[in-house]
Amino acid sequence: MCDTHRTSSQGLATVIVGWLATAPLQAAGPVFDTHLHYNAEDVAHHPPDAIVAQLRANHVLTANVTSRPPELVLRLHAQAPGLILPMLGVYRTPAEKETWTDDAQLPGRVEQTLAKGPWRAIGELHLFAGQRRSPVFTRIVELAASRGLPLLLHCDPAVIDSVFEQLPPPVVVWAHAGTYPHPPLLRDYLQRYPGLYVDLSVRDQQVAPDGQLDPDWEVLLLEHSDRFMVGVDTYRTERWDSYAEVVGEIRKWLDQLPDSVSDAIAYRNAARLLGSAVGD
């Protein structure tokens, strides 16, 4: 992690202490939401000030947010630089989610954009095994690794393997615990790749069916408590409408873990990996 991220993490720790000292005894614990989208179709229903108010009302200390087009998250960051971490999304239109790996001009655009913004990560990138050798993707991986920026990948296991073949490899956050969110597979990959982290967004029913922590998942989370993070994933506008409900579901299963593990997954791992908006 770069020095900026270390400084920001120290700032986050200060904020956490202050928040805990003043929060009501029954208040929900702090959360670092590592997976949020703020796209063009969201703005009319949820302007930046409303998004910020919603995050704060749900005790979100920091939010890692991407957008389509990329400049939207910068507007959100300007509204609350102490809350929002901008993650660079590479899609300008919905169609590019399917075609970006074939766009030879994309790496150049990404490199130019990275040079002039406060970006903390790149993603979310959607691709499947058959696209893992794309020169476009390879170059994006190189850009992320050279700048120390985590990559948020929505992908198959074969893509993860191909990323860690590159030298130096980047840090990778595997969105949604991958396309096959099974504890044995995840355990294998976490043991194989020290630079791999897992975002559990939209996997609450796998982790905790009907709100009760699954025994196999519980063992995995205890074994690798330093590698998991949480997020809501506002992949459509309606997810912003149900944000409080989803955060409540996440907190319900977090509360079934030991405090040190719950705190690590809720916010400490993300703060260590991504830094914090505090102090920016």
Residue 105 has pLDDT above 80, yes or no: yes
Residue 28 pLDDT? 74
Residue 18 pLDDT? 45
For residues 13 and 114, which has the higher predicted lDDT (pLDDT)?
114
Rounded to an integer, the average pLDDT of 192-216 is 98
Residue that the structure tokens 């980047």 belong to: 170
Could you give the C-alpha distances from 192 to 55, 91, 136, 160, in angstroms and in order?
35, 30, 25, 11
pTM over 0.85: yes
Assign 142 a pLDDT band (cuts: 50, 70, 90).
very high
Residue 203 has pLDDT above 80, yes or no: yes
Residue 233 pLDDT? 98
Q: Where are the domains of the chain?
A: 3-20+30-274
Residue 6 has pLDDT above 80, yes or no: no
Assign 108 a pLDDT band (cuts: 50, 70, 90).
very high
Residue 223 has pLDDT above 90, yes or no: yes
Residue 214 has pLDDT above 60, yes or no: yes
CATH number of 3-20+30-274: 3.20.20.140
Residue that the structure tokens 């389509």 belong to: 68
Rounded to an integer, the average pLDDT of 143-160 is 97
Query: Per-residue pLDDT tens for 233-244?
Result: 999 999 999 999
- Cα–Cα distance, 235 to 237 (Å, whole number): 7
Of all residues in the chain, the percent with pLDDT exceeding 90 is 86
DSSP per residue, 137-186: HHHHHHHHHHHT--EEEE--HHHHHHHTTSSSPPPEEEGGG-SS--HHHH
Residue 204 has pLDDT above 90, yes or no: yes
Query: Per-residue pLDDT tens for 11-33?
Result: 454 444 444 444 443 357 899 99
- Cα–Cα distance, 111 to 139 (Å, whole number): 10
Residue 277 pLDDT? 61
